[in-house]
Amino acid sequence: MRFARPSTSARVFVVVLCVSCTACAPVQPWERGRLAQPQMALEADALLSAMDQHVYTSKEAASGGVGPSGGGCGCN
């Protein structure tokens, strides 16, 4: 079976995945303290993230990646 040659972005993705998975061993439930730190959150601040999306989507052609947004912020 042949796979198509992976694109650059796909390769970068895999490299990032492997480089950071130092031990690649399963993480035990009691070993998740660092992941639980506030600075490690995927979304640090819900209101700030919502406002960021709103501002950038009003000024740029790309949408938030999560769907239509802009909310009538005029922002001409």
Partner 1 sequence: MHRFCSRLAGVVLWLLFPLEGFAVGAGDTAPDFELPAMGNELPMSLADFTGRVVYLDFWASWCGPCRKSLPLYEEMKGEFPEDRFEIVAINLDEDRYDAVRFLEKHPVSYTILLDPAGTTASQWQIQAMPSSFLLDGDGQIIKAWAGFTSSHLEEIQNEIRSSLH
Partner 2 sequence: MARLSDAVRSLLASSLGLPGMQELLAQEPPEDSFEYRYTHYDEAPLPLDKLALGDPRRYEIGSHQFRILKNLDDSYSLELNYLHEAMSGSSPWYVVPGDDGPLQVMSGATIRERRNQVDLSIARRKNDFTNNGAIGYSTENDYQALYGSYSGEKKSEDGLQTMSWGVSYSGDQISPTDALIFDRVSHAHRDSISGSLALTQTLSRNAVIQSGVSLVRQKGFLSDPYKQVWIDRAVLNDSRPDRRLMFAWTTRFRQYMERSRAALVLDYRFFHDDWKISAHTLNVAWRQPLADHWEIAPSIRYYSQNSPDFYKPFFFVLPADGQWSSDYRLATFGALSYRLNATFRHERWSLSFGGEYYNSAESLAISGTPENTPALVDFWRVTAGFEVNF
Tokens of 44: 């640090």
Q: Which of 25, 30, 67, 68 binds partner 1 (CB under 8 A)?
A: 30
Question: Which of partner 1, partner 2, none does residue 61 bind (CB under 5 to 8 Å by kind)?
Answer: partner 2
Calculate the alpha carbon distances from 35 to 30, 38, 57, 69, 73 in Å.
11, 8, 30, 30, 35
Q: What's the full length of the chain, in residues?
A: 76
Which of partner 1, partner 2, none does residue 3 bind to, with CB < 5 to 8 Å depending on kind? partner 1
Least distance CB 34 / partner 1 (angstroms):
8
Binder among 12, 27, 32, 52 for partner 1 (CB under 8 A): 32
Token pair, residue 32, equals: 């998740």
